[in-house]
Amino acid sequence: MAAPLNQVFFPATFQELFSAWGRFDSAVPYAGGTGLIRDQGRRTLELPPVILSLDKLEDLQRISRSERYLEIGAMVKLSQIIRLGKIVPEAFRDCLENIAGAQLRNIATIGGNICYPAGRLDASAALTALDAQYELRSAQSSRWISASRFSSLPGPTALKDQELLTRVRIPLDQWNYSVYKKFSKGRRGNGGVVVFLVKTQKNALTDIRVVYKTAAILRDKNSEAILAGKQLPLSRRVAAEFVENWETFLSGIQDLDELSQKELLNFIEMNVYNLTE
Ligand SMILES: Cc1cc2nc3c(=O)[nH]c(=O)nc-3n(C[C@H](O)[C@H](O)[C@H](O)COP(=O)(O)OP(=O)(O)OC[C@H]3O[C@@H](n4cnc5c(N)ncnc54)[C@H](O)[C@@H]3O)c2cc1C
C-alpha cells in the first residue's frame, strides 16, 4: 500500500506489528532512534514516513539467564546491559561501556546497534567473538542465526524483508583472558575495535578468538588453530608464528589501511606475548 505521510504504529504484539508491516512494506522499525536520526544536524529531523515503534513489544524488553546462556531482548538499552554487571561476559561489557556517552547508551538498544544498516557497529565484534546467536522473526516464522554469519553476509544487514531481530543469546563461557580495545574513540562506531579471548584448562590453551571489526568483521581461524591445545606459557616461537600468520592474513584484506593494520598487529603481538614465558 502506498504510505500516507508520517504514520507511526505502536504494536503491542508481533501479530499487530507484522500486520502493519504487511500493509506498509516500506515501514521501518524504530528502537531508540539514535541510528535513524544520526548525523542529522538540521533543525527538523527527517524520519521514515512509516514507523513501527518497538516500544510496546514487551517480549523485546526481556532479559533472562540460564546456566549456559544470557538472553537479551532486542529493545534492551545498552546501559541496562552494562548494569547487569558480572553476568555479562567481560568483553561485551567493555565493548558497550565504550560506545558513545551515557546519555546515548540510555537510549540506544542492542537490537539497533546490531541491525544498523549502514555498517557494522561495535557490538558485532564482541558478539561474534562470544559466539552469540540472534533470533530473527518474520510474520510466518522465526530462525536463529550466528552473530558471525549475520555480520558477514553481504548487504546492509542479513535481515530479510520484514524481518525483526527479537533476541540475542550469549553463551556464558568462562574466558580466562579477555581484552577489548577500541582504536579510534569518537568515530561513532565506524572505527576499528578488537576482541581477544583465551580459554585455558589446567596449563593448556583450549580456545582462542581474535575478532576485529572495521567496515567488516575479520577473524582468522587458521591463526587460532596454531595456538589451540598448546601448553602455557606459550613458547616465543609459537607466539611469533601466530603474529606472522595474522600479518599474512591481513595483507590479503583489501580496504584495510596501513595504520589500522599496524594498530591491530601491535595489539595482537602484545597480547599473545603476554601468554609466553
Ligand atoms: C553521537 C553518537 C555516537 C555513537 N557512537 C557509537 C560508538 O562509539 N560505537 C557504536 O557501536 N555505535 C555508536 N553509535 C551508534 C549507536 O550505537 C547506534 O545508533 C545505536 O546502537 C542504534 O540503536 P537504536 O536503538 O537507537 O536504533 P535505531 O536508530 O532505532 O535503529 C537503527 C536501525 O536498526 C533497525 N532496527 C532497530 N531495531 C531493530 C530490530 N529489533 N530488528 C530489526 N531492525 C531493527 C532500525 O530500523 C534502523 O534501521 C553512535 C551514535 C551516535 C548518535
Q: Given this model, what pLDDT does residue 184 score? A: 77
Q: How many domains does the chain have?
A: 2
* Helix/strand/coil percent split, the chain, to 5: 35, 25, 40
Residue of the CA atom closest to atom 21 of ligand 1? 113
For residues 124 and 48, membership in a common domain is answered with yes
For residues 102 and 76, membership in a common domain is answered with yes
| Backbone φ and ψ of 198, nearest 5° | -135, 135
Ligand 1 nearest-atom number relative to CA 75: 41
DSSP state of 4: P
Q: Is residue 38 part of a domain?
A: yes
pLDDT (tens place) for every residue of the chain, 277 residues total:
555 568 999 999 999 999 999 999 999 999 999 999 887 877 788 889 999 999 999 999 999 999 999 999 999 999 999 999 999 999 999 999 999 999 999 999 999 999 999 889 999 999 999 999 999 999 999 999 999 999 988 777 899 999 999 999 999 999 999 999 999 765 666 789 999 999 999 999 999 999 999 888 999 999 999 999 999 999 999 999 999 999 999 999 988 889 899 999 999 999 999 999 8
Helix intervals (H) in the chain: 14-23, 78-83, 90-97, 102-107, 110-115, 123-129, 147-152, 221-227, 236-251, 258-273
Q: Is residue 2 part of a domain?
A: no
For residues 264 and 193, membership in a common domain is answered with yes
Ligand 1 nearest-atom number relative to CA 187: 8
Ligand 1 nearest-atom number relative to CA 34: 26
Using a 10 angstrom Cβ sphere, with 0-12 exposed, 13-18 middle and 19 or more buried, the burial of residue 4 is: exposed
Residue to substitute in 124, 188, 213 for testing ligand 1 pocket (most ligand atoms within 8 angstroms of CB): 188
- Domain extent, residue 203, equals 177-273
For residues 164 and 181, membership in a common domain is answered with no
Which of 171, 206, 222 is where one domain is finished? 171
Residue 208 Cα to ligand 1 middle (Å): 29
For residues 20 and 144, membership in a common domain is answered with yes
For residues 116 and 247, membership in a common domain is answered with no
Q: What does DSSP say about strands 69-73 and 63-65: parallel, antiparallel, or unpaired?
A: antiparallel
Q: Given this model, what pLDDT does residue 187 score? A: 62
Residue 37 Cα to ligand 1 middle (Å): 9
Instruction: List residues near ligand 1 (CB under 6 A).
Output: 28-36, 38, 54, 74, 99-100, 104, 108-109, 111-113, 115-117, 121-122, 159, 164-165, 188-189
The CATH number assigned to the domain holding 61 equals 3.30.465.10
Q: Is residue 1 part of a domain?
A: no
Residue 117 Cα to ligand 1 middle (Å): 9
Residue 24 Cα to ligand 1 middle (Å): 22
The residue type of 269 is E
Residue 19 Cα to ligand 1 middle (Å): 24
Residue 238 Cα to ligand 1 middle (Å): 40
CA angle 95-69-57, nearest 5°? Answer: 80
Distance, CA of 233 to CA of 250 (rounded, Å): 26
The CATH number assigned to the domain holding 206 equals 3.30.390.50
Residue 39 Cα to ligand 1 middle (Å): 12
For residues 56 and 124, membership in a common domain is answered with yes
Residue of the CA atom closest to atom 9 of ligand 1? 189
